[in-house]
Amino acid sequence: MLYSMVGNLKNYTKIDILRCLLRIGKPVSRSELSKTLDLGEGTIRSILDVLKENGFLGSNKHGHFLRPKGDNILDKIRDNAIIKEIDSAKIFPGQKKIGIQIKNAKDPEKSYILRDSAVKNGADGAIIIKYGHDKKLKILDAKYDLDFSEIENKFSLNYGDIIVIAYADSYRLAEHGALAVATHLNDDLKHLMDKF
């Protein structure tokens, strides 16, 4: 009888690698990362190995930490995207929401294409809003206005910035969706994802 071995399949995505990188500011343990990222410790070990192989990460008895190359990448990410949990009850009540401010965003495609990307990456849905000359956030491709002042106050916005609010039953899936849209809208983030 002939047996074939199937190797372990990767159970994480490039977005999970990015999520992990964003959470390493000080030495942090694998178990802490597992808890905050909502991923198993074996998955975290694999992600940390990828980050180490790329020279972004080191580790010692205090935990995992960013090497200078990792610090530089993290600075570049933060120059292009700010990620926050959104606790507003006004939009998508009962859902976990992640908001990402995307700086230096390309002109957005049709918003339904971006929403589809969020959904394909785990979110239940997303709303794409842009900060205009009138210093207000407005939904892309929509004729009606909503009051986004609560969200405007969470971010330090400049003209042309895009905010993506993705929602899901978990923060992990909402963050997956929001980051997927962010990588469509910002070339620096897209190039970073290509490194993984």
Question: In this structure, are residues 12 and 45 in contact, taking their beta carbons and an 8 Å threshold?
Answer: no
Q: What is the tally of helices (H) and strands (E) in the chain?
A: 8, 7
With tokens 């600075």, the residue in question is 75
Check whether residue 87 and residue 183 sit in a common domain.
yes
Check whether residue 53 and residue 137 sit in a common domain.
no
How much of the chain exceeds pLDDT 70, in percent?
A: 94
Check which CATH number belongs to the domain holding 115 and give it.
3.30.1360.30
Q: How far is CA 124 from CA 32, 113, 127, 162, 168, in A?
A: 26, 14, 11, 19, 5
Greater model confidence, 38 or 143: 38
pLDDT at 71: 92
pLDDT at 7: 43
pLDDT at 92: 86
The verdict on residue 98 lying in a domain is yes
How many domains, the chain? Answer: 2
pLDDT digit string, tens, across residues 154-163: 999 999 999 9
Q: How far is CA 121 from CA 1, 11, 79, 94, in A?
A: 40, 14, 23, 20
The verdict on residue 1 lying in a domain is no
The verdict on residue 73 lying in a domain is no
pLDDT at 164: 95
Q: How confident is the model at residue 148 (pLDDT cuts 50, 70, 90)?
A: confident
Question: Is 65 in a helix, a strand, or coil?
Answer: strand
Inform me whether the pLDDT recorded for 85 exceeds 70: yes
Check whether residue 47 and residue 101 sit in a common domain.
no
pLDDT at 143: 74
Check whether residue 136 and residue 102 sit in a common domain.
yes
Beta bridge partners of 98: 85, 166
Check whether residue 59 and residue 141 sit in a common domain.
no
pLDDT digit string, tens, across residues 45-84: 999 999 999 999 999 988 999 999 999 989 988 899 999 9
Mean pLDDT for all residues in the chain = 88
The mean pLDDT value for 160-179 works out to 95
Check which CATH number belongs to the domain holding 25 and give it.
1.10.10.10
The verdict on residue 136 lying in a domain is yes
Beta bridge partners of 96: 168
Give the distance from CA 95 to its chain's centroid: 17
pLDDT digit string, tens, across residues 11-51: 788 999 999 999 998 899 999 999 999 999 999 999 999 99
Check whether residue 129 and residue 61 sit in a common domain.
no
pLDDT at 10: 66
The verdict on residue 165 lying in a domain is yes
The verdict on residue 106 lying in a domain is yes
Check whether residue 61 and residue 89 sit in a common domain.
no
Range 45-53 contact pairs with CB under 8 angstroms and sequence separation of 24 or more: 46/10, 46/12, 47/12, 47/16, 47/17, 47/20, 48/20, 50/17, 50/196, 51/17, 51/20, 51/21
Check whether residue 102 and residue 131 sit in a common domain.
yes
Q: Token pair of 117, please?
A: 């990307």
Containing structural domain, residue 50: 14-66
Inform me whether the pLDDT recorded for 102 exceeds 90: yes
Check whether residue 94 and residue 59 sit in a common domain.
no
